[in-house]
């Protein structure tokens, strides 16, 4: 049996406190003038991927397992959250076949970080690099992403029952 999951997440930018600011995407620090506002490290890409996995498992969403009202998750690495969700998948007897992720933002530009993000996700999810797709697009100046106010990410996954 196969299942498909879809995830979507958004985070807004906030002014960075120092000149060494970075945005975390897929566990990779990308230098930027702003950081993403969040309870965790703000890795919007990992959050969307968590929701896609949880959706495929019919287990709800990331907020049910890692609520922003819980101080245990303040500043936590979203790759740890992704690892925890992936463990749920394995414990349920499922295997992840592939992930397809689209980042929607005017900045930061993703091209020079794309392969590092793919590798980071492949390592976390114990998949071959060929099973992870990461791409980026702009919204042509439209909406909050077009105005540079934040980042949106869509993620889709295919899982297979291992039994």
Q: What's the pLDDT band for 163 if we cut at 50, 70, 90?
A: low
Count Cα atoms within 13 angstroms, Cβ side, for 12: 6
Distance CA 68, CA 4 (A): 26
Q: What is the pLDDT of residues 136-156, one digit of tens each?
A: 999 998 898 988 889 999 999
Q: Provide the residue ranges of all domains of the chain, joining segments of one domain with +.
A: 2-161
d(CA 11, CA 38): 7
In angstroms, the Cα distances linking 160 to 24, 88, 93, 127, 145 are: 29, 14, 9, 14, 34
Mean pLDDT of the chain: 92
Superfamily of domain 2-161: 2-C-methyl-D-erythritol 2,4-cyclodiphosphate synthase (3.30.1330.50)
pLDDT of residue 136: 95
Over residues 102-124, mean pLDDT: 95
Where b means 16+ CB within 10 Å and e means fewer, 17-37 reads eeeebbbbbbbbebebebbbe
Name the pLDDT band for 86 (thresholds 50, 70, 90).
very high
Q: Crossing angle, helix 114-125 and helix 78-91, to 10 degrees?
A: 40
Give the confidence band of 74 by pLDDT, cuts at 50, 70, 90.
confident
Q: Is the pLDDT of residue 124 over 70?
A: yes
For residues 101 and 48, the answer to whether their CB atoms sit within 8 Å is yes
pLDDT digits (tens, 9 = 90+) for 25-36: 999 999 888 888
pTM over 0.85: yes
């Amino acid at each position: 049996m196969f299942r498909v999951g879809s995830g979507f997440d958004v985070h807004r930018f906030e002014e960075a406190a120092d000149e060494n600011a970075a945005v975390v995407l897929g566990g990779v620090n990308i230098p930027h003038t702003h950081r993403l506002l969040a309870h965790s490290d703000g890795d919007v890409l990992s959050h969307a991927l968590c929701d896609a996995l949880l959706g495929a498992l019919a287990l709800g969403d990331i907020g049910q397992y890692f609520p922003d009202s819980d101080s245990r998750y303040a500043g936590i690495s979203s790759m740890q959250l992704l690892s925890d969700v992936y463990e749920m998948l394995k414990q349920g007897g499922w295997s992840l076949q592939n992930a397809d992720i689209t980042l929607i933002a005017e900045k930061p530009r993703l091209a020079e970080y794309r392969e590092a993000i793919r590798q980071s996700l492949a390592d976390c999810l114990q998949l071959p690099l060929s099973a992870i797709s990461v791409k980026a697009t702009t919204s042509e100046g439209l909406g909050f992403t077009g105005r540079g106010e934040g980042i949106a990410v869509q993620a889709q996954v295919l899982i297979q029952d291992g039994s």
